[in-house]
Amino acid sequence: MNNGAKIKPGSTMERVNANLAKRYAKERRFRRMGLAAIVISLMFLGLLFGSIISKGYGAFWQTYIQLEIHFEPEDMDLHGNRSLEVLSAVDYGGLVKRTLREMFPKVKKRKEKRKLYGVVSNGAAFQLREMVMNHPDLIGRTVQVWVPADDDVDMLIKGHIDRHKPESERRVKDQQIAWVDELQRVGKIEKRFNTTFFTAGDSREPELAGIHGALMGSIFTLLITLGLSFPMGVAAAIYLEEFAPTNRFTDFIEININNLAAVPSIVFGLLGLAVFINFFGLPRSIPLVGGLVLTLMTLPTIIIASRAALKSVPPSIREAALGIGASRMQTVFHHVLPQALPGMLTGAIIGMAQALGETAPLLMIGMVAFIVDIPANMMDPATALPVQIYLWADSPERAFMERTSAAIMVLLAFLISMNMLAVLLRKKFEKRW
């Protein structure tokens, strides 16, 4: 600007130049503030992810103990009868206990035996039962089976239990530590990938608890929410934006939609309880009711976003279509809607993400129950991922802490994949120039 040329004192140029440094400094300050904001948010995000992953990754591994089981027909009280009924009634827990006693023959006292049995998870008996039911030919043979260790042993192996604390302050006793060390020495303890976590429902035993039930509950709930709230929200937005006359009534509706978007979610839960469960008599704890409640909650978000998307379509497109004799509906569906769809999808993503993370309204309609079975459809009792996280976070066992973080990771992964799908869909629609 002032490349060598002499500037007259008092001229406009001089005054502009005097201000210039100040203006640029202001700009730099603003840029730095923005950058600082981003850095701080990234730091928090990193902290969040770091803490969740560092706490939760352990849950994907589970300690297993190798047992050498003799499926002796006499021990199993079979007496030649091999029907499934009899096979299912066998005392497999006794079989596990017998095997443990054989591994550590020195253990004689009742109290000590109890401690010994506590090294292996209760789930071992169920595992053996399932094995025998599926393969009755195992009877009479000796099989090496990896069974899950108890959650306290798991925590000990993972180093979450301090061996140097006095025995009374530990959940794992000195004797148990000795047995575990012995098993480890002979290679009969191993950490394996925790498939149970992804295939099982909830359980009181951390080593048997899984996320599958809650995940299915969330999927069913969200399917209902998406299936109801997206078409309804888009239809409402199209009507209000393109067809409805502007009068007091539509103004009133608009104000109320905006207000509903700000209503605390637990209120929707109470509404769902009163209307769907008490009035319509739908069962408690089912994804159908959860989906209906979350639909009520997400509708305002989707309507507002869809209306904004419709508003942003240039009016010239509408005029062009009307000008060659398209009816209003043809104008909307052939020209306006394709242009607005990406924006509507964005609104739907925000609404769905909100619904996925919602806990409070689900508590009100009973989706907070302890449910072991994996729901097979939307009428089966279920919990949802955030509720499962809430339940596990409340549990006293140390191993549940790990699983809480792992469940959060699953929730985040679900959320991210859902968003990615939506982004892909949006890209696909946007590609049409």
Partner 1 sequence: MQFNTQVVSPVTPLMVCTDIELIAAHDNRKTVGKISVTNPRMRCRNVNVFYGDKQAINRVNLDIGRHEVIAMIGPSGCGKSTFLRCLNRMNDTIDSCRVTGEILLDDQDIYDKKLDVVPLRAQVGMVFQKPNPFPKSIYENVAYGPRIHGLVSSKSDLDVVVESSLCRAGLWDEVKDRLDQPGTGLSGGQQQRLCIARTIAVGPEVILMDEPCSALDPIATAKIEGLIDELREEYTIAIVTHSMQQAARVSQRTAYFHLGDLIEVGETNQIFTNPQHKLTEDYITGRFG
Residue with smaller CB distance to partner 1, 78 or 313: 313
Q: Which is nearer to partner 1, 403 or 426 (CB)?
A: 426
With vertex at residue 116, the alpha carbon angle to CA 112 and CA 121, rounded to the nearest 5 degrees, is: 145
Nearer to partner 1, 339 or 395 (CB): 339
With respect to partner 1, which residue has the nearer C-beta, 75 or 430? Answer: 430
Q: Which is nearer to partner 1, 202 or 241 (CB)?
A: 241
Provide, rounded to whole angstroms, the least separation between the CB of residue 305 and partner 1.
21
Min dist. Cβ of residue 257 to partner 1 (A): 20
For residues 362 and 269, the answer to whether their CB atoms sit within 8 Å is yes
Please state the length of the chain.
433
Least distance to partner 1, CB of residue 272, Å: 38
Query: Closest approach of Cβ 250 to partner 1, in Å?
Result: 11
What's phi and psi for 172, nearest 5 deg? Answer: -105, 125
Task: From 219, 215, 223, 153, select the one nearest 188 (Cα to Cα).
Answer: 153
Minimum distance, C-beta of residue 314 to partner 1, in the bound complex (Å): 8
Beta-strand runs (E) in 37-194:
61-70, 142-148, 189-193
Return d(Cα 431, Cα 398) in angstroms, integer: 50
Helix (H, G, I), strand (E, B) or coil at 106: coil
CA separation for the pair 178, 189 (Å, rounded):
13
As to burial, measured by CB atoms within 10 angstroms (0-12 exposed, 13-18 middle, 19+ buried), residue 93 is middle
**Which residues, including other chains, have CB under 8 Å from residue 266's CB and lie 6 or more apart?**
360, 361, 363, 364
Nearest CB to partner 1, comparing residues 296 and 344: 344
CA-wise closest residue to 399 among 213, 208, 164, 179: 208
Q: How far apart are CB 43 and partner 1 at their closest, in Å?
A: 42
The Cα-based distances of 42 to 45, 359, 408, 415, 417 in angstroms read 5, 26, 19, 19, 21
**Residue closer to partner 1, measured from CB, 228 or 326:** 326
Q: Which is nearer to partner 1, 280 or 433 (CB)?
A: 433
**CB contact at 8 A, 378 and 218:** no
Nearer to partner 1, 264 or 323 (CB): 323
38-to-32, 34, 49, 302 alpha-carbon distances in Å? 10, 6, 16, 28
Joined together, the tokens standing for residue 36 give 């600082």
With respect to partner 1, which residue has the nearer C-beta, 207 or 242?
242
Cβ at position 302, least distance to partner 1 in Å: 24
Query: Distance between CA 343 and CA 324 in Å, rounded?
Result: 27
209 dihedral zone (left: phi>0; alpha: psi -120 to 50; beta): beta
CB of 432 to partner 1, least distance (A): 7
What is the binding site for partner 1 (CB under 8 A)? 245-246, 314-327, 330, 334-335, 338-339, 432-433
- Smallest gap from Cβ 322 to partner 1, in A, equals 6
Q: In whole angstroms, what is the distance from residue 382 CA to residue 359 CA?
A: 13
CB 231 → partner 1: shortest distance, Å? 24
How far is it, in rounded angstroms, from Cα 348 to Cα 345?
5
